Amino acid sequence: MRSPTALDILAGRKDDGDEWGSDEEEEQSVKGTPTTALCEQVVPLLRYLDRKVAKYADPRYPVSYVELVRMRTRIKVRISKLLASLNEDIKDLRLKNEALRGHLAIVRKLQKAVNKTRDEKFEEAKKEFAKEQVKLAYELNS
């Protein structure tokens, strides 16, 4: 013998299939009670949740719609925390990238200056060598 569900009770069915509350007196006594008001709110909610479960839930994993929403909410919270930490990491990496690009620009300028100085010194040394070579050739010929 199974226990009656909320929908069975609201429909007026007993465990054995007989009807409950077929008397008008019973109906009148229950109509204005908080139980009736609650049932009028709960039954549409149960039907709504059943439709949502049928629409969104994966049939391989039967859970209630409330649990499904709770799981999705938890996932969204975790993902938002993860995205926030990733955004912080991205900001840090962008700052480091900007600093490295600035450092690279300075190093390139310095390298240009070093190359220019080297070329100037090389040209001076070449001229000096040419002068010395002419001087030695003149001394040898004299």
Domain residue limits, the chain: 1-56
Task: Indicate the average pLDDT of the chain.
Answer: 79
pTM, two decimal places:
0.43
Angle between helices 34-56 and 65-141 (to 10 degrees): 40
Note whether 62 and 25 are within 8 A (CB).
no
pLDDT in the model for residue 3: 47
Structure tokens at 40: 């009028």
pLDDT tens-place string over residues 97-134 = 999 999 999 999 999 999 999 999 999 999 999 999 99
